[in-house]
Structure 1
Amino acid sequence: MRKFSRSLQMPLVLAAFAMMGITACQKNEAGVTIPQVVDPVITNGKDTIYLGDSLKLSPALSNIAGTPTYQWMVNGTIVSTDSSFLFKPTERGDYTISYRVTAGNAQSPLYYRIKVLEPFENGYLIVNEGNFPGLGSVNFYRNGDDTMMLNVYSRVNPGKTLGTTTEYGAIHNNILYMVSKQGAFVAANAFSLKETGRIASLPAEGHAFLGVDNSRGLLSTGDGIYQVNLATFTLGPKVAGISGEAGGMTKTDSYIFVLTQTDGVVVLNISDFSVVAKPVKADVGFAKSQDGRVWAGTGTNLYSIDGSTLAVKAYTVPFTIYDSWGFWNPGSFSGSRYENAIYFAQTGQYGGGTNIYKFVPGIDTTLTVPLVKLPADKELYGAGVRFNSRDTTLVVTAMKPGYGTNSQQNTLLIYNAINGTLKKSIDYTGYFFPAMPVSN
């Protein structure tokens, strides 16, 4: 989509007059009456809409002499000569819509700046396990709304399904990769959720996905790591040197970090996936902090690994960081992009928990007071916590404690990641069993 046309730019003074909607009758020294826009409909001439939606533009006018004529242009192309214009875009992107009214022997212009987004671009995707042995699903929360959009993947892709226990989602190069423990490994456009590819079955229980570059990815499973050809979306060979359960993965400029049940953290060379080191035995992770360190934990130990030298530093925490190998999930570790901090939850041996901690190396190393304590009738489920860099919030998935019908009482909680205050709480119903939030 073309950006704003330079030919459509107008002097700042003229733009100000057009958008302010001057209502007084204005004449120049020769007695020319200038038509005025008294209401442009959109505040400041700017708005955001979504594909599939439409926007009616009908500016209110005054000070009209004679019979007026109109002209509407979208990104430099004339599209209408009516007094109003229904804008219904067919592609995402940034649009300049120019309006010009001519009355008598004078004109007044008005400019709109409209951003068009795909339906699932501005918010959080929630990847759900599903009610075993049922299939996984995806829900979506749009920023600013008070409701959750349910089962959006199946609605966009009629007749297509995810696998059983869909436990992981990751966005790489605008593609959402969804990994299920059994069944299909699925790729979809992260903005529209239209499916772009699938691998019908995996050689072992699927766990997590990491995008390495434009053509390569890695898939962790119950039996090691497999290469993924992203161009053809097919599985490649198994990575040598890793066997048994493998889980979370992350990368730096030179290395890939993999959590394994047997060896803890295994570091791979990013160019050829050869094993470089096994720096520490950990079970849960990863998060990356701004200082270049990679974080993981196990028991009462929190570990930071230098992303360049692989040097390890240990911190003691006042509670147990439980592993999840027997019922694998991605874990709650998440890093901030705006300060040198990481976040993780205090869970029970089999998940759950209500406390979320913020850890700032060198400033807060005690972990005695949680940043967030969930309401009394809610507990964490799945990964539970993810930092959202778009608006500096923590996105938290929770359920009503207990079993049976309690499990269909879900809540999406959005907290200020700096001070832990609750910004929004969205309740929704269904046996979803949320695995993790994923943000565009």
Structure 2
Amino acid sequence: MTTDAHDHAPDRDSTGNGNSSGSGSGSGSGRILRKLRAPRATRTNAVHPGAWWIWALGLGTAASRTTNPLLLGLLVGVAGYVVAARRTEAPWARSYGAFVKLALAVLGIRLAFAVLLGSPIPGTHTLVTLPELPLPAWAEGIRVGGRVTAEGLVFALYDGLKLATLLICVGAANALANPARLLKSLPGALYEAGVAVVVALTFAPNLIADVQRLRAARRLRGRPDSGVRGLLQVGLPVLEGALERSVALAAAMDARGYGRTAEVAPAVHRTTAALTLGGLVGVCAGTYGLLTAEGGSYGLPVLLAGLGAALGDLWLGGRRSLRTRYRPDAWGVRAWLVAASGAAVAALLILYASHDPYAYAALHPDVVPLTAPTLPLWPAAAILLGLTPALVAPSPAPRGFGKESS
């Protein structure tokens, strides 16, 4: 773990003399605070990309447990603040804005569907009555147009806001976690699948970067960069650049021996197949047991056994992949704090929903009758734990100082 130069200097008292012995608990706590203080980000002290994904998935899990717009807005604010404080200047880190726009588009589409196709929520406050399209008898239960109520529109708003928050959390993970470094951390058995996922995740950020670069170049030349004409003239170079990157990626993967496998004993093949089947059965049976009242006694042990079999399968399957890791990413104290903060947000909201008798009404505001949502104190305090990465993760280098290595 890389720390500031001040971390290596001894504590000094008011006279300027070294005071390495400290003054009780105050000196010890001061050293701990200085050690946890966020340093300047370098190649060696960057937070593990898996920790960023665990943090973002924790926020997404919390978002899936509520439809309260105040809590969802707080989750969006937490994710946006951490991204603004710890995002680098890498091309893949600029995709957060695209995810925000996608979330807004999803929210708008959900509201448009509620207006045009109606809502299953009954309501008494009619906002507008649209002309209704008559449908045949076999389409009974479906309507186009008709009465638009405030209750149905608010229900659609809550539902769409939850999905938009999930997209923003995923966008935060894409903007903070280096996909190439995440691929290096995967087990050998998941390498081929991980390459496909990384290529898919980096396609959209690279495409957005190409569009921004070409539009800037057209503006400098005094050519139009907006409208249908500008879009058509920018689209061809973007597609050409995407094709060139695909060919270069294929050549690089072939030069690095992508897809080759090592010879393993037949017994290892059979053991791997048995562990794969046993892991799938164990995870499915254990999950079913946890979701049903009758399987509460065997659900957790079977689920843990299935997860153990799956981990054994990954370990044995990795022996077929001839891979080495150059400078593997270390999972340090800061990575643990980042991952734990996201997991704590999800765990605290789940515990609140399962133990507080009034939790459902606080997490899911009523729309019939239409009532204003309230901000529950404990869930809001739990969500604020998601700001921990903005305090402990290394701060990015100044703009133009250097680019992060992949």
Pick the structure with more helix per residue: 2
Structure 1 and Structure 2 fold alike (TM over 0.5):
no
TM-score normalised by length of structure 2: 0.28
TM-score normalised by length of structure 1: 0.26
Pick the structure with more strand per residue: 1
